[in-house]
């Protein structure tokens, strides 16, 4: 049914307008409790074998929604009702900004891919923190009436992805990230430092270890000061376009600094080597490409990270994940959690449920009793061969 709806409605609309419409419907469903509960009963993962532990929380399933869909933390509960095991909001910057001028989002339908040059359009960390605080207060009231709390307790696991405000010069980037971390850490189950979007000038230069080390240290200190009663897990999100030696350097730095995880990967600026089939006028658009063509390189980066860090930190696999087979391959490669976004556009609201059901079937057919046992199994099997 969704495939027909996409072809007849969304495919005829500007991609950004279609996103706003689809997201508005999700938010509407979340505001109608009987509808939200009906969606969750149908779509949310409930099988015990799907549960995974990460960042001090037990998640209902390993598959979550990557940053970029819900930039301003407006639809967390509706997205959770659709079956995502965790929701990563953002990217959120220190100051509000409109992002790049339209058009800035393009569908490569033949490739099941997207190109975006959104430019971190968001309301800023103060506004997003206020929204998360209000949501936390509402859910705490629900808990007192016999329901569940959210944010940092029961309910959807919420990650917050933070980036650099465009107008902030590179030498002031750390202060910009720190301002966001202080505001947002109290409401985050984990924080992500995004230094890998290609759409903010100079941002990817922060992936160099000489820049990344002080930045991550400053964000870690800010999160600890903002939330002294608990450790907010801190991750870094990296690009697929890093050279292999730079992937190794980030892996070593993550271990050195005691980071809680690495997310691999963000979008790519590559084009020619991806074998794209869409119209060249589309593939030539500038911005980050996501979706199915990114699958191979993203998987390579994940494999390399796990070979370097093993089980010492948590790895999150994202990039080109569409099917349960894609997600299962990332788990075997070393990912504790997997994420997607681009395929949501093409697969529709039942996507997370189908993927989780497929993962449960693959786990049942495997020699592993839990997903935790399956994480990194491809490396152990290769060593034993």
Secondary element (H or E) of residue 197: none
How far CA 337 is from CA of 106, 196, 226, 271, in Å, comes to: 27, 19, 26, 27
Please, is 142 exposed, middle or buried when counting C-beta atoms within 10 Å of its C-beta (0-12, 13-18, 19+)? Answer: middle
Fold of 2-384: TIM Barrel (3.20.20)
Query: DSSP 3-state assignment of 121?
Result: coil
Q: Is the overall model pTM greater than 0.85, yes or no?
A: yes
197 given a catalytic annotation: yes
Residue 102's alpha-carbon distances to 15, 95, 99, in angstroms, are 11, 20, 9
- Catalytic residue, chosen from 125, 197, 290, 298, is 197
Nearest by Cα to 305 from 322, 323, 330: 330
Binding-site residues for substrate, in ranges, read: 71, 116-120, 194, 199, 266-267
Q: Residues annotated in the binding site for FMN, as ranges?
A: 67-71, 91, 161, 194, 237, 265, 291, 320, 341-342
Beta bridge partners of 158: 87
Q: Find how far residue 75's CA is from the centre of its chain.
A: 14
Cβ neighbors of 96 (< 8 A, separation 6 or more) are: 122, 123, 124, 127
Strand bridging mode 57-59 / 52-54: antiparallel
Q: Tens of pLDDT along 69-110?
A: 999 999 999 999 999 999 999 999 999 999 999 999 999 999
For residue 381, the model assigns a pLDDT of: 87
DSSP string, 230-297: SPPPEEEEE-TTS-HHHHHHHHHHHHHHT-SEEEE---B---GGGT--S-HHHHTS-SEEEEGGGHHH
Per-residue model confidence as pLDDT tens for the chain (385 residues): 898 989 999 989 999 999 999 999 999 999 999 999 999 999 999 999 999 999 999 999 999 999 999 999 999 999 999 999 999 999 999 999 999 999 999 999 999 999 999 999 999 999 999 999 999 998 877 543 333 334 444 578 999 999 999 999 988 999 999 999 999 999 999 999 998 777 677 667 776 777 888 999 999 999 999 999 999 999 999 999 999 998 999 999 999 999 999 999 999 999 988 999 999 999 999 999 999 999 999 999 999 999 999 999 999 999 999 999 999 999 999 999 999 999 999 999 999 999 999 999 999 999 999 999 999 999 988 888 7
Q: What angle do CA 62, 66, 68 make, to 5 degrees?
A: 165
Backbone phi and psi for residue 82, each to the nearest 5 degrees, phi listed first = -80, -5
Q: Which residues are annotated as a binding site?
A: 67-71, 91, 116-120, 161, 194, 199, 237, 265-267, 291, 320, 341-342
List the chain domain ranges. Answer: 2-384
Q: Which two tokens stand for residue 89?
A: 């909001």
Q: How far apart are the C-alpha atoms of 155 and 143, rounded to whole Å?
A: 10
- Cα separation, 181 vs 171, whole angstroms: 18
* Percent of all residues in the chain with a pLDDT value above 70, rounded to a whole number: 95
Residue with tokens 């100051």: 95
Q: What's the gap between Cα 356 and its chain centre?
A: 16
CB of 91 within 8 A of CB of 176?
no
CA-based end-to-end distance of the chain: 45
């Amino acid at each position: 049914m969704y495939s027909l709806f996409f072809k007849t409605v969304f495919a005829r609309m500007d991609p950004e307008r279609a996103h706003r419409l689809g997201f508005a419907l999700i938010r509407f469903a979340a505001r109608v409790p009987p509808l939200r509960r009906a969606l969750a009963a149908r779509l949310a993962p409930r099988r015990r074998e799907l549960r995974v532990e990460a960042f001090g929380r037990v998640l209902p399933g390993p598959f979550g929604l990557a940053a970029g869909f819900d930039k301003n933390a407006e639809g967390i509960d509706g997205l959770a009702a659709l079956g995502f095991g965790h929701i990563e909001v953002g990217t959120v910057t220190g100051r509000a900004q409109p992002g790049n001028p339209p058009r800035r989002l393009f569908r490569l339908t033949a490739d099941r891919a997207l190109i975006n040059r959104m430019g971190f359009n968001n309301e800023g960390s103060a506004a997003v923190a206020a929204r998360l605080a209000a949501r936390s207060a509402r859910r705490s009231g629900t808990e007192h009436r016999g329901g569940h709390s959210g944010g940092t307790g029961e309910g959807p696991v919420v990650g917050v992805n933070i980036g650099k405000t465009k107008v902030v010069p590179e030498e002031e980037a750390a202060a910009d990230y720190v301002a966001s971390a202080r505001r947002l850490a109290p409401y985050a189950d984990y924080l992500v430092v995004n230094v890998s979007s290609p759409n903010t000038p100079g941002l990817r230069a922060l992936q160099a270890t000489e820049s990344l080390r002080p930045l991550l240290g400053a964000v870690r200190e800010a999160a600890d000061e903002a939330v002294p009663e608990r450790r907010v897990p801190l991750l870094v999100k990296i690009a697929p376009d890093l050279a292999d030696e730079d992937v190794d350097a980030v892996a070593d730095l993550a271990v050195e600094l005691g980071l809680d995880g690495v997310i691999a990967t963000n979008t790519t600026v590559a084009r020619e080597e991806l074998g794209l089939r869409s119209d060249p006028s589309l593939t030539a658009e500038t911005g980050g490409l996501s979706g199915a063509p990114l699958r191979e390189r993203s998987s390579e980066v994940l494999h390399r990270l796990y070979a370097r860090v093993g089980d010492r930190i948590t790895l999150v696999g994202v990039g080109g994940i569409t099917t349960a087979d894609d997600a299962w391959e990332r788990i075997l490669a070393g990912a504790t959690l997997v994420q997607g976004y681009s395929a949501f556009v093409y697969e529709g609201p039942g996507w997370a449920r189908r993927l989780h059901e497929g993962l449960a079937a693959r786990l049942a057919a495997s020699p592993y009793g839990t997903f935790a046992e399956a994480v990194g199994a491809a490396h152990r099997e290769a060593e034993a061969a």
